[in-house]
Amino acid sequence: MGCLLPLSALQAIAKAWGTLLYRLPTRAKITTEKNLTACFPDKSEAEFAELTKSSLIHTASTAMEMGKSWLLPMEKTLSLVVDCEGQDKFNAAYESGNGIILLAPHLGNWEIFGFYLSDSASTTFLYQPPKYRALDRLITRSRSRGGLNMAPTNQTGVAQIFRALKQGQVVGVLPDQVPSEEGGGYANFFGVPAFTMALVSKLIQKTDAKVFCGFAKRLPNAKGFKVIVQEADQGIYSEDVSISLSALNSTVEQHVLSAIEQYQWEYKRFRKQADGSKFY
């Protein structure tokens, strides 16, 4: 049903849902408050309250928009994008044939972002398969309908995206997911130590791929989305993994700062701490 309702109706429902989440002592609200307080300690109490509420509403919007992301014919999904910034440089890098690593953080509507940039490029996205097979089939079928390939987060999937880069394709990665114990290292994210994936750094060192990052920014008044894509911080290409990881997080930070309320602060980004302490 969500795919049939206009965007304005879906976002109105999301506003009511997000407001309810804010008014109740929900896990989403508590986690959001914890993350925002740690990342923006200089903001006032009123600013925290407004950001928390807005973040919950935007996260609810992403959920409500899933029907339009996954179930509509691809041309209708893509028509929700009304503006794009930075695609010329992205296209030029793709035409070079060296491959692109596309960072798609949990910001704005990352589903629509991935679909939009993969519409004119051979693309493989790395994803975490859900526990339920029926949901996995739905996700795979929905995301693949525009020709986008899916690679699971295991050794087979990593080999798949490595081959894709060698063939000059685009590889999509969610850079702000907490990796497995052996798959990352610590780097600050808005001043807070965050266990950060090292996969991107490893792929860079084994290929000539360029790294871009972006998101589909939700426009006010249900006007659609603006896709923003930019090349990553140059430090990400460093052979020093610690520098590369810091640059990855810095790249994500730069995008988040342009739409703080549209980031998924409900995610437990800091659940792994180097000293074993509990952040949440």
Q: What is the pLDDT of residue 2?
A: 61
Tokens of 203: 């792929």
Q: Tens of pLDDT along 45-85?
A: 999 999 999 999 999 999 999 999 988 888 999 999 999 99
pTM: 0.94
Q: What is the pLDDT of residue 128?
A: 81
Q: Tens of pLDDT along 184-219?
A: 999 999 999 999 999 999 999 999 999 999 999 999
Task: Count the helix, strand and coil residues of the chain and give each as a percent rounded to the nearest 5.
Answer: 50, 20, 30
What distances in angstroms separate CA 179 from CA 102, 182, 238, 244, 279, one per listed residue? 17, 8, 20, 16, 17
Give me the residues of the chain with pLDDT under 70, please: 1-2, 146
Pairing of strands 225-231, 100-103: unpaired
Pairing of strands 225-231, 210-218: antiparallel
Strand partners, 213: 103, 230
Q: What is the pLDDT of residue 51?
A: 97
CB 127 within 8 A of CB 151: yes
Pairing of strands 184-189, 192-197: antiparallel
Q: What is the pLDDT of residue 103?
A: 98
Give the burial class of 81: count Cβ atoms within 10 A of its Cβ; 0-12 exposed, 13-18 middle, 19 or more buried. Answer: buried
CB 8 within 8 A of CB 74: no
CB 263 within 8 A of CB 107: yes
Nearest to 198 by CA among 169, 168, 166, 240: 240
Q: What is the pLDDT of residue 15?
A: 98
